[in-house]
A and B are shown apart, each in its own frame.
Chain A
Amino acid sequence: MKIPQSVSLVGTLTLAGLLSGLVIVGVHRWTEPIIRENKARALQESVFEVLPGSEAVEAWVWSGEELDPAAGDGGAGGSEGDAIYAGFGAGGEFVGWAIPAAGAGYQDTIRLLYGYDPQRRQVVGMRVLESRETPGLGDRIIKDLSFVSEFEALAIEPRVVLVKEGGDAPNEVDAITGATISSQAVVDVINSGNEVWLQRLPETTPAAPSQPPTEVSP
């Protein structure tokens, strides 16, 4: 009896699919708020780190023509290509923009977040979010604190430049010995991030968001 058999086959798979769907949707609804909160917190931690003095974050999204605050996302929305983050200090004053950027490193892509202060036209902080550089060498872009601190008051004009050592000009960064390529990659990523975003920044200083800014105790 062919027909009943096919029915039972399809029926079983459909039933399995439905049950599976139920289970997944159920767990998803339970865990989604927790996951979202984790992501928001992680993002805020990174932003606070690259924009020293900031205590609140607001996501701004590039629509293709202009940059506007993201609608009610609490600072966790937006995909990497089109969102940056405005940081505000304790008194609601604007601190700077945290810009995510990525590019090719030595081994694989490096993803980082850097803070930019438009008034002083300087990079004020940098944090590598993801990298697969060689442990002990390339990964010093994360671990070597003196390298990271090079990005705390870095002029961006005409562009950030990597030098082997003894870089004194405000727009120069000293490379990590033995990890020149990884260091260069970080500099390149910031330069290309600037190329894309500096022209998109609004002329006026953003005001603190009208609803209470999302605050998480550090």
Chain B
Amino acid sequence: MSAKTPESAYAELVKGLWEENPVFIQVLGMCPALAVTNTAVNGLAMGGATLFVMVMSSLMISSLRKVIPRQVRISTYIVVIATFVTVADMLLEAFTPLIHKELGAFISLIVVNCLILGRQEAFASKNTPRMAVADGLGMGIGFTFALVLLGGAREVLGKGALFGVSLFGDAFEPWIIMILPPGGFLMLGFLLLLFASVKEAKENLNGSPAADTSDERAA
């Protein structure tokens, strides 16, 4: 966890996108990241739902941070998060029934996404609502970005389409394993590998010592 005091809301927001990206750097929220990213649309929907829950929970918990007693803080966080997850579930079921069916039980599973609980404990409970919302937004958008990237990669290789739009026509022989469970694991592994090599190449170019991001791994 970064020990520096928040400089600005904007900085908080941006850090969630890349430097402390929940999926690629912090390796949190794996369950939904792999389970519903068989297409880009599903990744986008899950990311959006998680973003909603993140922001609303951060806002609420940060606003109430002086009032929640320490001993019951985790239970309170969970109740707040579960409330917003239930709301998101109902909204999705009412207004986008097809997506709701695709995501299924994983919408409810947002409540145990260690990312959200982790951010409340590590950040929202210790900062002003404005900062907390910025952090929530940043993490949520970073998470969505990771999910869309993963989902898009799997969809392009596994179906020859992106966002449902066929890219290669009939001649394309889809690499079906990519939209099946092993594909999720493998694709994320490859993406992590890709980002790690890019990072290493950048550091070699700059000649600076490798930035130690291992301490960013929030519980």
Which A residues have a C-beta under 8 Å from some C-beta of B? Answer: 5, 8-9, 12-13, 16-17, 19-20, 23-24, 27-28, 31, 34-35, 38-39, 42, 134-136
Contact = CB atoms under 8 A, between A and B. Distances in A.
B79 A9 contact: no
A20 B90 contact: no
A29 to B, nearest CB: 10
Residue picked from B75, B86, B94, most chain A C-beta under 10 Å: B94
A23 B87 contact: yes
Range of interface residues on B (Cβ < 8 Å)? 20 to 34
A8 B69 CA distance: 8
Contacts of A27: 86-87, 90-91
Contact of B80 (A9, A16, A134): A16
Contacts of B75: 13
Interface string B49-70: 0000000000000000001110
A42 B97 contact: yes
Chain B interface, DSSP helix/strand/loop, else mixed: helix
A31 B93 contact: yes
Interface string B76-108: 100110110011001101110100000000000
Contacts of A16: 76, 79-80
A31 B90 contact: yes
A28 B71 CA distance: 31
Residue picked from A12, A24, A34, most chain B C-beta under 10 Å: A12
Given A8-B69, A136-B174, A38 B79 contact: no
A35 B87 contact: no
Nearest to A28: B90
Contacts of B68: 12
A35 B101 CA distance: 12
B180 interface: yes
Interface string B8-35: 0000000000000000000000000000
A5 B86 CA distance: 30
Interface of B: 67-69, 71-72, 75-76, 79-80, 82-83, 86-87, 90-91, 93-95, 97, 158, 174, 176, 179-180
A9 B97 contact: no
Contacts of B97: 35, 38-39, 42
Contacts of A28: 90
B86 A24 contact: yes
Given A135-B179, A136-B176, A9 B90 contact: no
A24 B93 contact: no
B83 to A, nearest CB: 4
Contacts of A13: 72, 75-76, 79
Given A20-B79, A28-B90, A12 B176 contact: no
Nearest to B88: A27
